[in-house]
Chain A
Amino acid sequence: MKLKTLVMAACTTAIVAGPAAADLVFPSLDYRTGPYAANGIPFADGYADYFTLLNQRDGGIGGVEARVLQCETGYNTERGVECYESTKGEGALVYQPLSTGITYQLIPKATADDIPIHSMGYGRTSAANGEVFSHVFNYPANYWQAASGIILDILDRNDGNLEGKKIALVYHNSAYGREPIRTLQELGTQHGFELIELAVDHPGQEQRSQWLQVRRDRPDYVIMWGWGVMNQVAIQEAVNIRYPMDNFYGVWWSGSENDVLPAGEGADGYRSVTFHSVGDDYPIFDDIQEHVVDAGLASGAGDQIGTVLYNRGMYAAMLAAEAARTAQDIHGVAEITPAMMRDGMEALEMTEERMTELGLPGFGPEFSVSCQNHGGPGESAIAEWDYDTQAWSIVTEYRAPDMGVIQPLIDEDSAAYAAENDLPMTRCPAEDEMMMSVEDILAEMRTIGLRLDELADMLEAAQ
Chain B
Amino acid sequence: MPVELLNTIEVIINGLMTGVLYSLVALGFVLIFKSSGVFNYAQGVMALFAAQTLVGIQTGQVPFAHLINAVTGMHVSKFGFDLPSIIAIILTTLVMIGFAWIVVKVIMVRLVNQEPIILFMATIGLAYFMEGFGDLMWGAELKTLDVGLPSGGSFWIEDVTAQWAVEGENYWGMYVDVLDIWATIIAVFLVAALTIFSQYTKAGTAMRAVADDHQAALSVGISLNKIWIMVWSIAGFVALVAGIMWGAKSGVQFSLSLIALKALPVLMLGGFTSIPGAIVGGLIIGVGEKLFEFWIGVPFLGGATENWFAYVLALLFLVFRPQGLFGEKIIERV
Give me the interface of A with B, judged by CB distance under 8 Å: 32-38, 41, 173, 197-206, 208-210, 212-213, 215-216, 228-229, 232-233, 236-237, 239-242, 258, 261-262, 264, 266, 296, 301, 303
Residues on B with beta carbons closer than 8 Å to the beta carbon of A32: 140
Q: Find residues 113-134 in chain B having any chain A CB closer than 8 Å to their own CB.
A: 131-132
B128 CB → nearest A CB, Å = 10
Q: Does B85 make an interface contact (CB < 8 A)?
A: no
Report if A37-B251 is in contact (Cβ < 8 Å); known contacts: A200-B304, A203-B258. no
- Which of B73, B145, B246 is the most central at the interface, judged by chain A CB atoms within 10 Å of its CB? B246
Who on chain A is nearest to B11 by CB? A212
B261 CB → nearest A CB, Å = 9
User: Do A239 and B152 have beta carbons less than 8 Å apart?
Assistant: yes
Who on chain A is nearest to B180 by CB? A208
A44 to B92, CA, bound (A): 31
User: Do A232 and B142 have beta carbons less than 8 Å apart?
Assistant: yes
Q: Which of B94-102, B182-190, B290-298, B324-332 contacts A (4 or more CB under 8 A)?
A: B290-298
Q: CB within 8 A of A33: which of B135, B139, B293?
A: B135
7 A-B residue pairings within 8 Å (CB atoms): A36-B254, A41-B141, A210-B303, A212-B10, A212-B14, A228-B255, A232-B253
A202 to B258, CA, bound (A): 10
Interface of B is mostly: helix
A298 CB → nearest B CB, Å = 10
Residues on B with beta carbons closer than 8 Å to the beta carbon of A241: 153, 175
Known pairs A198-B303, A205-B246; list 18 more (Cβ under 8 Å): A33-B131, A33-B254, A34-B254, A38-B141, A41-B141, A197-B302, A198-B298, A204-B255, A206-B306, A209-B11, A209-B14, A209-B297, A213-B298, A228-B255, A232-B250, A233-B249, A242-B152, A262-B144
Residues on A with beta carbons closer than 8 Å to the beta carbon of B255: 35, 203-205, 228-229
Report if A258-B304 is in contact (Cβ < 8 Å); known contacts: A35-B255, A239-B152, A241-B153. no
Who on chain A is nearest to B258 by CB? A203
Residues on A with beta carbons closer than 8 Å to the beta carbon of B131: 33
User: Do B303 and A232 have beta carbons less than 8 Å apart?
Assistant: no
User: Do B69 and A199 have beta carbons less than 8 Å apart?
Assistant: no
User: Do B142 and A261 have beta carbons less than 8 Å apart?
Assistant: yes
Who on chain A is nearest to B145 by CB? A262
Q: Find residues 282-316 in chain B having any chain A CB closer than 8 Å to their own CB.
A: 289-290, 293-294, 297-298, 302-304, 306-307
- Binary interface profile of B, 134-177, with partner A (CB < 8 Å = 1, else 0)? 01000111101110000111000000000000000000100101
Give how many A-B residue pairs fall within 8 Å (CB-CB). 123
B302 CB → nearest A CB, Å = 6
Residues on A with beta carbons closer than 8 Å to the beta carbon of B172: 215
A199 to B11, CA, bound (A): 17
Residues on A with beta carbons closer than 8 Å to the beta carbon of B151: 236, 240
Q: Find residues 240-288 in chain B having any chain A CB closer than 8 Å to their own CB.
A: 246, 249-251, 253-256, 258-259, 262
Q: CB within 8 A of B69: which of A202, A205, A239, A301?
A: A301
Q: Does B7 make an interface contact (CB < 8 A)?
A: yes
A163 to B145, CA, bound (A): 42
User: Do A261 and B251 have beta carbons less than 8 Å apart?
Assistant: yes
Residues on B with beta carbons closer than 8 Å to the beta carbon of A262: 142, 144-145, 249-251
A243 CB → nearest B CB, Å = 11
A202 to B297, CA, bound (A): 16
Q: Does B66 make an interface contact (CB < 8 A)?
A: yes
User: Do A232 and B152 have beta carbons less than 8 Å apart?
Assistant: no
Who on chain B is nearest to A216 by CB? B7
Report if A258-B142 is in contact (Cβ < 8 Å); known contacts: A203-B258, A229-B255, A240-B177. yes
A239 to B251, CA, bound (A): 14
- Binary interface profile of B, 33-65, with partner A (CB < 8 Å = 1, else 0)? 000000000000000000000000000000001
Q: Does B18 make an interface contact (CB < 8 A)?
A: yes
Residues on A with beta carbons closer than 8 Å to the beta carbon of B145: 262
User: Do B14 and A208 have beta carbons less than 8 Å apart?
Assistant: yes
A206 to B17, CA, bound (A): 12
Who on chain A is nearest to B179 by CB? A240
- Which of A41, A197, A206, A209 is the most central at the interface, judged by chain B CB atoms within 10 Å of its CB? A209
User: Do A38 and B142 have beta carbons less than 8 Å apart?
Assistant: yes
A377 to B132, CA, bound (A): 42
Who on chain B is nearest to A213 by CB? B298
Report if A240-B304 is in contact (Cβ < 8 Å); known contacts: A41-B141, A215-B172, A264-B146. no
A256 to B229, CA, bound (A): 42
Who on chain A is nearest to B302 by CB? A199
A36 to B294, CA, bound (A): 29
Q: Does B195 make an interface contact (CB < 8 A)?
A: no
Residues on B with beta carbons closer than 8 Å to the beta carbon of A197: 302-303
A206 to B19, CA, bound (A): 11
A212 to B174, CA, bound (A): 9
Q: CB within 8 A of A242: which of B11, B14, B153, B246?
A: B153
Residues on B with beta carbons closer than 8 Å to the beta carbon of A198: 298, 303
- Which of B253, B293, B302 is the most central at the interface, judged by chain A CB atoms within 10 Å of its CB? B253
Residues on B with beta carbons closer than 8 Å to the beta carbon of A236: 151, 249-250
A263 to B299, CA, bound (A): 30
Who on chain B is nearest to A74 by CB? B254
User: Do A201 and B175 have beta carbons less than 8 Å apart?
Assistant: no
A38 to B256, CA, bound (A): 12
Residues on B with beta carbons closer than 8 Å to the beta carbon of A200: 304
A201 to B7, CA, bound (A): 22
User: Do A296 and B73 have beta carbons less than 8 Å apart?
Assistant: yes
User: Do A201 and B307 have beta carbons less than 8 Å apart?
Assistant: yes
User: Do A199 and B175 have beta carbons less than 8 Å apart?
Assistant: no
Q: CB within 8 A of B18: which of A206, A213, A228, A266?
A: A206
A460 CB → nearest B CB, Å = 51
Who on chain B is nearest to A301 by CB? B66
Report if A208-B290 is in contact (Cβ < 8 Å); known contacts: A239-B152, A261-B142. yes
A37 to B251, CA, bound (A): 13
